[in-house]
């Protein structure tokens, strides 16, 4: 029997690869001769860097950059061969700012640009960047400034790097853009469909979560609309608006327009990177999962993403998911490629107790063992 394991992290308990290794050991207890292959799994959000680096034998690169409030701090990115894997939240994330200091007028994506530059110096030419969890609404102004784009005011002076500085931009100078950047390929993990501006755009939908009041929302929406118009004119491009432009405070637009970036569903990016397709062709069983299965799982989460891929490649493959807990709506995953799911909890306990490392390890191992016993019985009854 050939078994593929690709489980997303059980956040707070197990990493993707830890969950995979525990499951593999459990399988070997029941089927010692089974062919088992473990792959990392993530959806482009939190935990993607760790999953990919660990799963593909990459490395974590630590580098000092500018945080969302303009102060220096230690951030990081992942490196696998010549590909850099970055979570923008590691440089410009909302969790980096105390709640009483959150205000998109005063935050910047400059640190994300610094991460990109450092990666180019580290021989990276391809980028996979997850843009969830941002603290910013600067339309990429900070990031692009770090990369060498100059944004000028009416006095032909460079504007600042914060959200509030969008108001001042009247011209753009591209002559000093780092030449290496022009040869880089950017794939952006983007799972939202918001346009750049308007009532469904980044300012109205997401800026309030980042500390913006009603007045700030209205102002920034206008500034960003003007910034986008100036950008298209200065770059002499005719790029139509696209779903996802409003992601991460306009970073979707910035990557598409200035860096020729491609917005892709996060799980699709990860699945392409880990190159799992060939092993799914002749596999008998796929074991996937995550900490919680619910109605959001079918909206682009990793377990459903890999289940859909598996079924499209190999219609005979049995796909099973394991999870820490599941809501009533989790049954929707059956229509998205997952044949059955199992919660690993063995007895009633608090969430705190259930998430303890040793408890999760034991529960996952026992659940996978029982799944294998059931599959063996099923096979023998045929």
pLDDT range class, residue 344, cuts 50, 70, 90: very high
pLDDT range class, residue 161, cuts 50, 70, 90: very high
Residue 279, pLDDT > 90, answer: yes
d(CA 14, CA 11): 6
Residue 382, pLDDT > 50, answer: no
d(CA 246, CA 194): 5
pLDDT range class, residue 34, cuts 50, 70, 90: very high
d(CA 25, CA 100): 46
Three-state SS letters, the chain: CEEEECCCCECCCECHHHHHHHHHHHHHHHCCCCEEEECCCCCCCCCHHHHHHHHCCCEEEEEEEECCCCCEEEEEEEEECCEEEEECHHHHEHHHCCHHHCCHHHCCCHHHHHHHHHHHHCCCCEEEEECCCECCCCCCHHHHHHCCCEEECCCCCECCCCHHHHHHCCEEECCCCCHHHHHCEEEEECCCCCCCCCCCCHHHHHHHHHCCCHHHHHHHHHHHHHHHHHHHHHHCCCCCCCCCCCHHHHHHHHHHHHHCCEEECHHHHHHHHHCCHHHHCCCCEEEEEEEEECCCHHHCCHHHHHHHHHHHHCCCCEEEEEEEEECHHHHHHHHHCCCEEEECCCCCCCHHHHCCHHHHHHHHHHHHHHHHHHHHHHHHHC
Per-residue pLDDT tens over the stretch 102-154:
999 999 999 999 999 999 999 999 999 999 999 999 999 999 999 999 999 99
The contacts of residue 346 (CB under 8 Å, 6+ apart) are 362, 363, 366, 367
Per-residue pLDDT tens over the stretch 181-208:
989 999 999 989 999 999 999 999 999 9
Burial (CB count within 10 angstroms: exposed 0-12, middle 13-18, buried 19+), residue 25:
middle
Burial string for 131-142 (b: 16+ CB within 10 Å, else e) reads: bbbbbbbbbbbb
**What does the pLDDT average to over 59-82?**
98
HSE (side-chain half, CA atoms, 13 Å) at 374: 12
Is residue 6 within 8 A of residue 23, CB to CB? The reply is: no
| pLDDT recorded at residue 29 | 95
Kindly state the tokens that stand for 130: 């997850």
pLDDT range class, residue 380, cuts 50, 70, 90: low
Per-residue pLDDT tens over the stretch 36-63:
999 999 999 889 999 999 999 999 999 9
The contacts of residue 108 (CB under 8 Å, 6+ apart) are 66, 68, 69, 70, 92, 136, 138, 141, 142, 161, 162, 163
pLDDT range class, residue 298, cuts 50, 70, 90: confident
d(CA 166, CA 159): 8
Burial (CB count within 10 angstroms: exposed 0-12, middle 13-18, buried 19+), residue 170:
middle
Give the residue with greater pLDDT, 43 vs 164.
Answer: 164
């Amino acid at each position: 029997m050939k078994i593929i394991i690709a489980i997303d992290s059980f956040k707070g308990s197990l990493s993707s690869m830890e969950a995979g290794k525990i499951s593999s050991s459990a399988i070997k207890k029941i089927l010692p001769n089974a062919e088992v292959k473990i792959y990392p799994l993530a959806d482009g959000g939190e935990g993607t860097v760790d999953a990919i680096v660990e799963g593909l034998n990459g490395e974590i690169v630590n580098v000092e950059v500018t945080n969302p409030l303009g102060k220096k701090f230690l951030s990081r990115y992942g490196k696998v061969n010549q590909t850099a894997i970055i979570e923008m939240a590691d440089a410009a994330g909302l969790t980096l700012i105390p709640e009483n200091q959150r205000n998109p007028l005063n935050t910047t994506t400059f640190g994300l640009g610094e991460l990109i530059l450092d990666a180019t110096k580290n021989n990276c030419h391809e980028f996979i960047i997850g843009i969830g969890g941002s603290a910013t609404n600067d339309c990429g102004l900070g990031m692009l400034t770090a990369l060498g784009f100059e944004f000028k005011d009416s006095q032909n002076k460079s504007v600042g790097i914060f959200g509030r500085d969008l108001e001042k931009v009247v011209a753009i100078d591209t002559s000093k853009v780092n030449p290496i950047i022009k040869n880089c390929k950017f794939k952006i993990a983007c799972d939202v469909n918001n346009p750049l501006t308007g009532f469904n755009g980044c300012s109205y939908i997401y800026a309030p979560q980042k500390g913006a009041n009603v007045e700030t929302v209205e102002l920034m929406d206008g500034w960003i609309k003007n910034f986008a118009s100036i950008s298209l004119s200065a770059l002499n491009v005719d790029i139509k608006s696209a779903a996802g432009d409003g992601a991460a405070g306009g970073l979707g637009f910035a990557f598409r327009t200035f860096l020729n970036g491609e917005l892709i569903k996060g799980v699709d990016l990860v699945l392409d990177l880990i190159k799992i397709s060939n092993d799914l062709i002749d596999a008998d069983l796929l074991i996937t999962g995550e900490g919680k299965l619910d109605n959001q799982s079918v909206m682009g989460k990793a377990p459903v993403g890999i289940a859909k891929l598996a079924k499209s490649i190999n219609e005979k493959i049995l796909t099973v998911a394991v999870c820490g807990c599941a809501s009533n709506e989790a049954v929707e995953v059956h229509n998205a490629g997952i044949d059955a799911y199992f919660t690993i909890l063995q007895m009633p306990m608090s969430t705190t107790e259930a998430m303890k490392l040793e408890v999760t390890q034991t529960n996952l191992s026992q659940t996978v063992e029982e799944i294998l016993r059931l599959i063996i019985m099923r096979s023998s009854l045929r």
